[in-house]
């Protein structure tokens, strides 16, 4: 299957899943999933009856880029943005619909109102609040379902992103960057640079480096806190390749570890393994959370594990399936998700262990990371 055919097939699957005259997408990550476009301004029209009428609308900054990145779909350029761009282009391309499917997750109130007005002009009727709801339907759930199952090209990109990030971390370790006196900001900046020179399009999110007491802050923003001997250092990082993100967390101990550090690290490791052990086709994502949480609860550290056990990864760093308490989403072949339990002791330190996994067609679950996930000493 060619790149153009792959994107066309994704649009066709959405087209067949939704009962609407057309689908209008605003979310850039979904637009990239359905077309390949990587710019910062676009709107995607998917015609429910004629694939030849699909069109990507962007502005003059990205016209040439869109033609290069988006094979097999028409591209239109206009100065307007958001739903106003649809109004402008629909006049020249004769776009028409009496109902619209929208990605409600990304649709703001102003665009919602303008789309309702556009529908009103198409159908020549006054849309009251109730009528607006009838004319517009949220198709976010259908998009999430499609995106949560990765194809071979997506898994290939995810593999490359993970390998890029891990190679950068291994060089950081080899350079002995995690030494007393080095600051969190210096370590984060160096890791970001090493990922970039290995081909990362950017970082998956702000790289997290937390040392000492800051390692107990799950999403600590690196600052000028220096690493000290005996500290736990949590590093959460990711690279982006072909629009796909990696996500990995490793915890280091600078020098010899103490009994309490070994205890929580061992507990988190066993929680991670417990979640991994229940992965199979058809299992709910919530079951992974339950398995990891049970280990940590039984050890008496339940109050110190406050976040979910994981999440899906793809063109967004956080997407379906959600590996959290009560999640009924089923894992299937092509599911890509993290497992990342943690224990965070205020004013002392914390441990988090995170790998990204893919559930393969054979039923095997494979880590995208190769570096040991146990407590690492530097």
What pLDDT does residue 177 have? Answer: 97
Q: For the chain, give every domain's residue range.
A: 3-147, 152-377
pLDDT of residue 117: 84
Strand partners, 51: none
How distant, in Å, are the alpha carbons of 206, 352, 374 from that of 270? 28, 12, 10
pLDDT tens-digit series, residues 220-273: 999 999 999 999 999 999 999 999 999 999 999 999 999 999 999 999 999 999
Does the pLDDT of residue 126 top 90, yes or no? no
Which CATH architecture best describes the domain 152-377? Answer: Alpha-Beta Complex (3.90)
Q: Above 80 in pLDDT, residue 171?
A: yes
What pTM did the predictor assign? 0.93
Look at residue 116 in the predicted model and tell me its pLDDT: 84
C-alpha neighbours within 13 Å on the C-beta side of residue 245:
24
CATH of domain 3-147: 3.40.350.10
Phi and psi dihedrals of 264, rounded to 5?
-75, -35
Phi/psi for 207 (5° steps) reads: -60, 130
Average pLDDT over every residue of 300-309: 98
Q: How far is CA 332 from the centre of its chain?
A: 18
Q: Which two tokens stand for residue 112?
A: 């919602």
Q: Give bridge partners of residue 43 from the DSSP assignment.
A: 57
Name the nearest CA neighbour of 305 among 184, 185, 216: 216
Mean pLDDT in the chain?
A: 94
What pLDDT score does 110 carry?
86
């Amino acid at each position: 299957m060619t790149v153009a055919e792959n994107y066309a097939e994704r649009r066709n699957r959405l087209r067949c899943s939704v009962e609407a005259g057309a689908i209008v997408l605003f979310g850039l990550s979904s637009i990239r999933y359905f077309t390949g476009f990587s710019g910062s301004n676009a709107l995607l029209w998917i015609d429910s009856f004629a694939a030849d009428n699909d069109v990507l609308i962007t502005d003059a900054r990205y016209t040439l880029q869109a033609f290069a990145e988006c094979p097999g779909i028409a591209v239109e350029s206009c100065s307007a943005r958001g739903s106003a761009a649809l109004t402008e282009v629909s006049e020249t391309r004769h776009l028409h619909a009496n109902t619209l499917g929208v990605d409600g997750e990304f649709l703001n109130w102003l665009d919602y109102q303008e789309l309702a007005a556009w529908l009103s002009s198409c159908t020549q009727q006054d849309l009251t609040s109730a009528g607006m709801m009838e004319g517009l339907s949220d198709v976010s759930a259908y998009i999430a379902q499609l995106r949560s199952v990765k194809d071979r090209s997506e898994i290939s990109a995810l593999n490359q992103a993970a390998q890029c990030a891990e190679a950068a971390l291994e060089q950081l370790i080899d350079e002995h960057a995690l030494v007393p006196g080095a600051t969190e900001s210096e370590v984060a900046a160096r890791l970001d640079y090493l990922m970039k020179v290995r081909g990362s399009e950017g970082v998956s999110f702000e790289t997290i480096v937390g040392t000492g007491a800051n390692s107990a802050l799950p999403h600590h923003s690196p600052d000028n806190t220096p690493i000290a001997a005996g500290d736990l250092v949590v590093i959460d990082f990711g690279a982006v390749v072909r629009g796909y993100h990696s996500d990995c967390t490793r915890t280091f101990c600078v020098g010899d570890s103490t009994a309490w550090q070994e205890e929580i690290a061992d507990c988190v490791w066993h929680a991670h393994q417990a979640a991994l052990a229940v992965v199979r086709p058809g299992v709910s994502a919530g079951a992974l959370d339950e398995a990891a949480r049970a280990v940590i609860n039984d050890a008496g550290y339940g109050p110190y594990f406050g976040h979910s056990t994981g999440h899906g990864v793809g063109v967004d760093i956080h997407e379906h399936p959600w590996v959290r308490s009560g999640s009924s989403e089923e894992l299937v072949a092509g599911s890509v998700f993290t497992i990342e339990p943690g224990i965070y002791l205020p004013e002392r330190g914390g441990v988090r262990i995170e790998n990204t996994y893919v559930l393969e067609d054979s039923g095997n679950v494979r880590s995208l990371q190769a570096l040991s996930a146990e407590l690492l000493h530097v």
